[in-house]
Each structure stands twice: as structure tokens, then as C-alpha cells.
Amino acid sequence: MIDVLPQKAAARGPLVHARIAAMLLGTIVTIGAFAVTGDAQAAPGENVSVARQLGSRVGPIIGSALACRDIARPRIQAIIEKFQLVIREAATSEADRDELTRLLDRYVAEGRTLVTSGRMDCRGADRQLADLEQSIAAPPAARANLPGVTIAPSAAVAATAPAQILPPVVETRGVTQNDIKFGMVIPHSGPVKESGRQLKIGVEAAFNRVNEAGGVNGRVLKLVTADDGYDPARTLDAMKQLYEKEQVFGFVCNFGSATAAVAIPYALERRALFFAPYTGANVVRHDPPDRYVFNYRPSYAEETDALVRYLVKVRKLNPRQIVVFAQNDAFGDAGFAGVSKAFRTLGANENAIVRVNYPRNSIEVDDAISQLRLLKAPVRAVIMLATTRAAAKFIEKARDVFPGAVFANISAVDGSALASELMLLGPRYTDNVIVTQTVPGVSGYSSLVLDYKNALAKYFPGETADYMSLEGYVSASILIEGLKRAGQSFDTEKLVETLETMGNVDLGLGAQLGFGRSEHQASHKIWGTALDERGNYQPLELD
């Protein structure tokens, strides 16, 4: 019967595999029609089992074809869409649909490997795809005569009925039958342009990875960026360029706090998704949350709370010996508010906290250091709310002024870039430098970090693993999961509703992620790291 056909076919070659896949496809497509009339003979669990077997046969054919540039994509897309219909008809629960989708992705990847490793050439891949297409299009009688297969004529008809193959497409901005377009406002220019570049690399690595496996529900993900130079005066124009000219569906991983304060009202007025901005400021964390704003990362208040507790509880410093070096804008204000709150929680006098500033988008730190020199109490630790180059310049100039001081940074600094800057100055500048991270160590071995590094090596050869690009990859991976669950036909409202039901998502990060109606922040996990003399980050227990 059907459940043993894949094993029997193992020795019969690609042609029989393709034909059996076509027959199984025709069988399962009719499951939904039978279920409506009450004539279904197979239990839902059996339907899922058959769909799994189908995926193991169809997936490698799709994957090997995708690995060959000369094979027309519409041919492959037609097969993908048929299997998506199979999943919807065979699986009655969201969990089963997710499992079948993941299995198909895995088998597609295996098919790609057959070609990329040289075990199959593109001529063979094209022949397999043609066999599958021919079998699907074959008349019912021809299909019914395949050895070992018995199939009702109605199933054969259903398998070739065009109306059942292509699901309806909702008319949605930025979404076509073939792709979904997202926008991203980042600095391509100015002193933090490297942070913008790294964040973009991470998002594109995740998009490329899922696109190579067939896309999300048959659509490829596209990313269009606009430059605001980390200048909020330019952010609105960048948002308009993406939304009005490029017609993007929504925004992903915009960079900055002050820039977010400009971008969010524009997105909310248009009911556009504003997903995983790179900021921990409260402007993206209202209570209750803004409907279209979703965060991946913990807040700056959570990061600074972890730093204050570490310095006071673990390092045993007097709160009066802890000062704050901050960018003079919404980013610095948000971090400083977190420090103040942490002091209050510990019973310390928040009014006694010394804060020195530097101008945003600059590395002018001399005035801040001069102010700290005038303090009567010794400076034993500096909580730094700064971008990469400003933080490195401050540490360079403060190292000898405040010997033995701890320079404690939050993740906005981009730990990888900071390490590179300090190593250019010499190993002694990495001493007592710590950074809180919102993603696990880039040298770690969690499954998602390994996936990220493999994607980086494949799509951006020569780029080293970086905390900023890793966060972009994680954020995009959560978005991809939400899009998969939203299904083939969706709009912004349906995607928002889907995201709000994504609780306890395990992407292999080493921490559970999830959203809810009153919780639009996926992660509250903070990792502590400390630089060693080689410029590598070592794990640091914060409590």
C-alpha cells in the first residue's frame, strides 16, 4: 500500500521516485475534499504520515532543481505550491503543518547538496523534475497503471485541477505571488556605518538561507535598505523612500533609538510592521505595546540593571564609585534611566549618579574625561552608553587616568567591533572591559549560532562572526518563523495576530523566545562577556 511505496521504490531510480511522488501528491490533495464530504478513509495522523513520505521524495527533487540556475524557477515553484496545498489538506493542526514544512526544508537542502557536492549533475536534476511534472500532468488512466499504486480517479483529477493548486493571494503591499519585500533604515554613512552594515549582513544571511530552501510558503524574502546616517533628521525621508517608493510590506531591524522615535509614528500611522529595531529604548516598549511594534532584544534598562548589580553585588563596588558615560540623546537617556532605576532598587541614591556626555554621531570624549578628573571620589567603574568608536576612544584616553577601572558596556556598542578597535591599540586596553550581550557568544555552539556561522560563510565569505550581524540573523529568523505560521495568504493584521500567539519558540538559541498580546518583546535573556588579552570574549557570570 501507500505507506510502503517509498521503501519499495528505493532501488528503481529517479523516474519511479518522481512518479510515486506525483501519485502520492495526487492522493493527498484529495484528502481535504473527502474530509468535507465525510468520505475520508484515512485518519488525520495517517494523512500526516503519508505527507512526510511525500516530502522525503519531492523535497530532494525540488532542492536539486533549485541548485541549478538554468532550470526555470516557475517550474519549481509550481511543485512547491502543490506540496504547500498537500500540507494544508493533510495536517489538521498548526504543529503538524510546522513539522511538515520543516521536513520539506530539510529534504530540499539535502537535494541541493546532491548537486553542490557533485553527486548529481544538473542534467539529472532537470530530468527528475521533468519526470515529476509529466507524472502529475499524466491522464488518470496512465497514473492508475503505475506499478503498485491504486488511486481513485477523483484523486487524479484533483491533482491536476488548477483551481486547487494555487491558493488565493491577498492584495497586500509588498507581497506578490513570488516575494515579500521588507525595508530597513540603517546608517550606510557616518561613524556608525559599520554597525549598519553588520546588521544588514545578519538579516540578509537569514533571508538567503530560507530563500535557498524555497522561500517562505513559496515566496522569497527581499530586503531593501535606506540610509539615514544615524541622523533622526534624515530618518523620515528614508522611511518614506522605502514605504512609498519601494512599497515595502514592513520594516525590520531599523537602527537606533533617536531614529526610532521618528520612524515609529510614521509606521504606526500606516499600520506597517516595525519588527526588531536595534534599540533597547522605551520608545519601542510602550505598555500596552504598540500593535505593530515587536522587539527581539531586552531593553537597555534590563542591561544596565544587570551591570549595576554585577558591579555592586559581585565586584563589591560602592555605588558612589560608579559613573555613567553616555551619548547625549534618547539612547543615552534610556540607558541612564535604567541605571537610575537599578540604583533605586538597590537602595542607593540615584541623585548622586555622575553622568558625563559626548555628542551623538561623534567621538568627542575629551570633555567627558576632563569632568571625571574633577571628581573627589575615585572612579572604579564606568557604565558606558556609547557606540563603538566613541567607546573605544573613551577607553583609550581613560585607561591611564583611571587605572584599574572597569569599563562596562551595553550591547549597543557592538562587542565585536569594540574588540577590534581596542586590539588595534594593544592588549592592555582590553583589560577590565565587559559587555552585556543580547545574543549568545559568537564562538559558541548553540544550534542557531552554528546555523548563523554556516550562512555567513556561505553567503558572505570573508566576513567574521559578529555580535551585531548575529542579532540581525536571530531577529530575521524569528520573523521568518512568524511568516511561516501566518500561511500563504496573509496581511499585516494576520501576521500581527500570528506573532502574538508565538509563545515558547525554540530556535536553538539556548533561550526560549516568544510574544503575547501584552508582550511584544521576544527575549529577556542577557549574556555577560569579558574581553581577554587576545581580544576574545569570555563568558562572565553577572550574578
* Averaged pLDDT, 278-289: 94
As a whole number of angstroms, the distance between CA 254 and CA 311 comes to 31
Residue of 493, 453, 460 lying closest to 474 (CA atoms): 453
| % the chain with pLDDT above 70 | 85
In this structure, the number of other CB atoms found within 10 A of the CB of residue 156 comes to: 24
User: pLDDT digits over 140-184, tens only?
Assistant: 444 444 333 333 333 333 333 333 333 444 458 999 999 999 999
Residue of 256, 90, 279 lying closest to 186 (CA atoms): 256
| H/E stretch holding 237 | helix 232-240
Residue of 64, 72, 75, 212 lying closest to 128 (CA atoms): 64
Residue of 26, 384, 502 lying closest to 18 (CA atoms): 26
As a whole number of angstroms, the distance between CA 534 and CA 295 comes to 33
Residue of 392, 34, 481 lying closest to 192 (CA atoms): 392
Confidence of residue 21 (pLDDT cuts 50, 70, 90): low
Query: How far from each other are the two terminal CA atoms of the chain, in whole angstroms?
Result: 60
Handedness of CA 258, 263, 269, 275 (dihedral sign): negative
Cα R_g (the chain), whole angstroms: 27
As a whole number of angstroms, the distance between CA 290 and CA 218 comes to 30
As a whole number of angstroms, the distance between CA 518 and CA 513 comes to 14
- At 153, give phi and psi (nearest 5°): -55, -35
As a whole number of angstroms, the distance between CA 433 and CA 382 comes to 10
Residue 97 in grid coordinates:
503543518
User: pLDDT digits over 503-517, tens only?
Assistant: 989 999 989 899 999
Confidence of residue 6 (pLDDT cuts 50, 70, 90): very low
pLDDT at 158: 33
Record the pTM: 0.68
Burial of 398 (0-12, 13-18, 19+ CB in 10 A): buried
User: What is the pLDDT of the chain when averaged over all its residues?
Assistant: 85
Q: Parallel, antiparallel, or unpaired for β 527-531 and 537-539?
A: antiparallel
pLDDT at 103: 77
pLDDT at 272: 97
- At 352, give phi and psi (nearest 5°): -90, 0
State yes or no: pLDDT of 413 exceeds 60: yes
As a whole number of angstroms, the distance between CA 174 and CA 204 comes to 17
As a whole number of angstroms, the distance between CA 399 and CA 337 comes to 26
As a whole number of angstroms, the distance between CA 180 and CA 223 comes to 9
* Averaged pLDDT, 425-446: 94
State yes or no: pLDDT of 1 exceeds 50: no
pLDDT at 519: 96
